[in-house]
C-alpha cells in the first residue's frame, strides 16, 4: 500500500500500459504500433528524453475517444490508489491529441469523469494542461483557448516535451494569460536543460513548482534560492535513471536535494515506460539511497504541502 502521498508529476499518456495500447488499437480499428505486447515492451530501452518521447507520442495515437481517455485515467487512478496515492495532479498533452483530430472536450471530460468515479477509491485528481515546448507558442495559445469551456476541470498549466534548445521564455505570454484566467502554473525545467531554464521558469513563467529541477544542483546560487523560497521540485527517480540522466538509482541526487533543504517530492513521470508507479519510486529511493523512515515521511508530507489542494484538505491528508 505504501505511505499516503500525493503524486504531482505524472503524464496520463505515460500511464498507457502496452496491454491497453493493444486493446484500444483493436477497439478503434487503428494499427497497433508493434506486432505484440512483448515486442512493444522490448522497445522501452531509451537513450535519452527524445528517444523516449518518440515512442510515447507514437503509442498515444491509439487514444481517440472520450471513453479511451476515461479508461486510461481509471486504470492509472486505481493503480495509484493501490500504492497509497490519495491525491494526484495529472498532466495531459492536448496539443498531441488535437493534432489527431481528438477534441479538447473528449480529452478533458474523459479524464475528469474517471477522476470523479475514482473518489470512491479514496483518491482525488486534478488536471494540469501541459503545453508542448517543442511546438510554437501560438499552438499553446490555441490549446488554452480551446480549454476555456473546461476551466472548472483544470487546476494549472504546465510545460513539457523535449527540453534542450527550448527555453521557457517563449511561453511567457501564454503563461501570463493562463494565470489571468485563474490557473496555477508549473513547468518542466532542469531535467535535461540547464539551471538557467529553471530561473526562466521561475522569473518569466512565474511557476509555483518546478518539475524535475535536478540540474539546479549544478548552480549553488539557484540551490540557495530554491531553498530560501521553498520552491517545490517534483523529482522522478526511476524516470531519470531510465532516460540516462542519472547513472544509477544509487547515484540519484534526491538525497543531496534533501540535505540541501530543498522541498523535493517523489513521483513516477511516465510509469508505464519507466518501471514503476509512485510507490515503486518511493521503494526505489528508500533502498537505492538508504533513506530513513523520517526522510520518507518528509517526502510524503512535502507532496501534500506542494500540491494545489486547499489548505484545509492538505492538513487533513498530512
Binding-site annotation: residue ranges for Zn(2+): 9, 11, 188, 269
- Measured at the CA of 138, the angle between CA 132 and CA 139, to 5 degrees, comes to 45
Query: Between 16 and 202, whose beta carbon lies closer to ligand ES4?
Result: 16
Tell whether residue 269 is a contact of Zn ion (CB under 5 A).
yes
Query: Between 240 and 303, whose beta carbon lies closer to ligand ES4?
Result: 240
User: Which residues contribute to the annotated binding site for substrate?
Assistant: 270
Instruction: Give the H or E element holding residue 300.
Output: helix 293-305
155 contact, one of Zn ion, ligand ES4, none, CB 5-8 Å limit per kind: none
Query: Any idea of the CA torsion for 92, 98, 102, 108, to the nearest 10 degrees?
Result: 30
191 contact, one of Zn ion, ligand ES4, none, CB 5-8 Å limit per kind: ligand ES4
- Nine cell digits for residue 28: 478503434
The catalytic residues are: 191
- Tell me which stretch binds Zn ion (CB under 5 A): 42-50, 125-133, 142-150, 266-274: 266-274
User: Which residues contribute to the annotated binding site?
Assistant: 9, 11, 188, 269-270
Would you give the distance in Å from CA 108 to the centre of its chain?
16
CB of 270 to Zn ion, least distance (A): 7
CB of 52 to Zn ion, least distance (A): 10
- Residues 53 and 134 sit within 8 Å (Cβ to Cβ): no
Query: Between 12 and 125, whose beta carbon lies closer to ligand ES4?
Result: 12
In angstroms, the CA 287 to CA 289 distance is: 6
234 contact, one of Zn ion, ligand ES4, none, CB 5-8 Å limit per kind: none
Collect contacts of 198-205 with beta carbons under 8 A, ≥24 apart: 198/222, 198/226, 200/167, 200/168, 200/169, 201/159, 201/168, 202/231, 204/168, 204/169, 204/172, 204/175, 205/159, 205/168, 205/171, 205/172, 205/175
In angstroms, the CA 11 to CA 34 distance is: 22
Tally of residues, the chain: 318
CB of 160 to Zn ion, least distance (A): 6
Query: Between 25 and 162, whose beta carbon lies closer to Zn ion?
Result: 162
Q: Which residues pair with 232 in a beta bridge?
A: 263
CB of 28 to Zn ion, least distance (A): 26
14 contact, one of ligand ES4, Zn ion, none, CB 5-8 Å limit per kind: ligand ES4
What is the full DSSP assignment across 69-83? HHHHHHHHHHHHHHT
Q: What is the 8-class DSSP label of residue 268?
A: -
Q: Residue 31: left (phi > 0), alpha (psi -120 to 50), or beta?
A: beta
Tell whether residue 71 is a contact of Zn ion (CB under 5 A).
no
7 contact, one of ligand ES4, Zn ion, none, CB 5-8 Å limit per kind: none
CB of 285 to ligand ES4, least distance (A): 17
- Nine cell digits for residue 306: 506542494
Query: Between 89 and 200, whose beta carbon lies closer to Zn ion?
Result: 89
Short-list 85, 72, 82, CA closest to 111: 72
Closest chain position to ligand ES4 (CB): 160
- Tell me which stretch binds Zn ion (CB under 5 A): 71-79, 104-112, 262-270, 271-279: 262-270
- Tell me which stretch binds Zn ion (CB under 5 A): 120-128, 132-140, 144-152, 264-272: 264-272
Residues forming contacts to ligand ES4 in the complex (CB under 6 A) are 11, 14, 49, 56, 160-161, 188, 191, 239, 269-270
Binding site residues, Zn ion, CB under 5 A: 269
Amino acid at each position: 500500500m505504501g505511505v499516503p502521498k500525493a503524486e504531482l508529476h505524472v503524464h496520463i499518456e505515460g500511464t498507457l500500459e502496452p496491454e491497453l495500447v493493444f486493446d484500444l488499437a483493436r477497439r478503434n480499428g487503428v494499427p497497433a504500433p508493434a506486432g505484440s505486447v512483448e515486442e512493444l515492451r522490448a522497445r522501452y530501452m531509451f537513450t535519452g528524453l527524445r528517444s523516449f518521447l518518440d515512442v510515447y507520442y507514437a503509442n498515444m495515437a491509439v487514444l481517440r475517444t472520450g471513453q479511451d481517455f476515461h479508461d486510461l485515467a481509471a486504470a492509472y487512478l486505481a493503480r495509484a490508489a493501490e500504492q497509497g496515492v490519495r491525491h494526484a495532479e495529472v498532466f495531459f498533452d492536448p496539443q498531441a491529441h488535437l493534432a489527431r483530430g481528438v477534441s479538447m472536450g473528449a480529452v478533458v471530460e474523459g479524464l475528469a469523469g474517471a477522476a470523479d468515479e475514482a473518489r470512491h477509491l479514496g483518491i482525488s485528481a486534478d488536471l494540469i494542461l501541459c503545453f508542448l515546448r517543442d511546438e510554437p507558442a501560438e499552438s499553446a495559445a490555441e490549446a488554452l483557448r480551446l480549454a476555456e469551456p473546461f476551466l472548472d476541470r483544470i487546476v494549472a498549466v504546465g510545460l513539457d516535451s523535449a527540453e534542450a534548445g527550448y527555453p521557457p521564455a517563449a511561453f511567457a505570454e501564454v503563461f501570463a494569460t493562463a494565470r489571468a484566467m485563474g490557473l496555477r502554473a508549473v513547468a518542466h525545467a532542469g531535467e535535461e536543460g540547464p539551471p538557467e531554464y529553471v530561473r526562466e521558469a521561475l522569473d518569466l513563467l512565474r511557476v509555483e513548482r518546478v518539475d524535475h529541477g535536478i540540474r539546479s544542483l549544478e548552480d549553488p546560487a539557484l540551490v540557495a534560492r530554491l531553498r530560501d523560497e521553498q520552491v517545490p521540485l517534483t523529482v522522478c527517480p526511476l524516470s531519470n535513471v531510465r532516460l540516462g540522466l542519472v547513472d544509477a538509482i544509487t547515484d540519484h541526487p534526491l538525497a543531496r536535494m534533501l540535505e540541501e533543504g530543498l522541498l523535493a517530492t517523489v513521483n513516477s513521470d511516465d510509469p508505464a515506460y519507466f518501471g514503476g508507479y509512485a510507490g515503486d519510486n518511493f521503494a526505489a529511493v528508500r533502498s537505492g539511497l538508504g533513506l530513513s523512515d523520517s526522510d520518507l515521511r518528509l517526502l510524503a508530507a512535502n507532496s501534500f504541502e506542494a500540491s494545489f489542494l486547499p489548505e484545509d484538505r492538505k492538513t487533513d491528508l498530512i
